[in-house]
Amino acid sequence: MLIQAIITGLLLGGIYAVYSAGFSLIFGVMGVVNIAHGDLVMLGAFTSYWLFTLGHIDPFLSIPFSALTLFIVGYGIQRLIINRVVEAPPIMSYICTFGIHLIIANLALRLWTADYRSITTSYCGSHLECAGLVIPYARLATFGMAVVMVGGLYLFLNRTDIGRAIRATAQDREMARLMGVRANHVYAMTFGIGAAITGVAGSLISSYFVIYPQMGLSYTVTAFCVVVLGGMGYIPGALLGGLILGVLESLTATYWNAGMSSALTFFILFLMLIFMPAGITGKGIVE
């Protein structure tokens, strides 16, 4: 039971890592705590849901679509709204993203009703059994995708020109501008990329979780925890933080009580912030 719980937790943690990496990227570059982040997960999940329901496209195949959709949404949000407050005191961007959360979540509620929905694929019941452990194939595939996505984002930031421009802007906006980087464009790209990877997480989530328009806020909250655990703004930290949180939640849910697992999450978050604000890796941004 212990090993099963740990495996379940790791598989869950992979998903956490993907959308938290997007959250971490946005915070790291712009200092924006994106409260609407969970709503981007929701949008990605619904993109896959509708493509499956209306077009019979497998959620794994619809990943590029939700990535593209969310990239456009993210780019637009940053370009039209958040770029205007990025220089203002941070509270402005928090509240602004909260406003965006209200808009997205409630528009989705109007469009798609409050119903709980899920995707039933042909393979959703099948799983791998070995040594008494049960590992659903879908979850395993999701986990693999998750690791690839976080690794890909890390390489992207380190190996490509736009990635370097993003990191340069994160370190020193003025200097980057002097070097010819268009900060507004870079910010919009950053938000777009963060949103795209989050949309991918949404697609992965839709393949075996129940989805509904109001699901966003709880995902945002998980992203807080993951990112604080791994170190704010440090992308590989999101993977570590996601896995740790996934395992912790799975263990408390198995041995204690599912409700207590989220209370515990917050408690850990609280303690981490006080004692290790740079995260377990010690590489987070500390103000």
Q: Which residues lie near another protein (CB under 8 A)?
A: 27, 31, 33, 81, 84-85, 88-92, 94-96, 98-103, 105-107, 110, 217, 221, 224-225, 228, 232, 256-257, 259-260, 262-263, 266-267, 269-270, 273-274, 277, 286-287
Encoded tokens for 27 = 């915070």
- The pair of three-digit structure tokens given for residue 184, joined into one six-digit string: 């507004």
Choice between 55 and 99, CB closer to another protein: 99
Q: Which is nearer to another protein, 59 or 242 (CB)?
A: 242
Q: How far is the CB of 193 from another protein (least distance, A)?
A: 20
Which of 223, 243 has the CB closer to another protein? 223
How many separate helices (H) and strands (E) can be counted in the chain?
Answer: 11, 2
Minimum distance between the CB of residue 34 and another protein, rounded to whole angstroms? 11
Between the two ends of the chain, the Cα-to-Cα distance in Å is 41
Rounded to a whole number of angstroms, the minimum distance from the CB of residue 268 to another protein is: 9
Q: Measured on CA atoms in the order 121, 145, 195, 162, is the torsion positive or negative?
A: negative
**HSE-up of residue 200 (Cα within 13 Å, Cβ side):** 29
Residues 6+ apart with CB under 8 A from 86: 30, 31, 32, 93, 187
Amino acid in position 223: A
Task: Return d(Cα 15, Cα 141) in angstroms, integer.
Answer: 11
Specify the residue, 4 or 83, whose C-beta has the smaller distance to another protein.
Answer: 83
Residues facing residue 136 across a β-bridge? 127
- Give the residue with the Cβ less far from another protein, 146 or 183: 183
Q: Which is nearer to another protein, 15 or 96 (CB)?
A: 96
Q: How far is the CB of 122 from another protein (least distance, A)?
A: 37
**Smallest gap from residue 231 Cβ to another protein (A):** 12
Q: How far is the CB of 230 from another protein (least distance, A)?
A: 14
Q: How far apart are alpha carbons 286 and 278 in whole angstroms?
A: 6
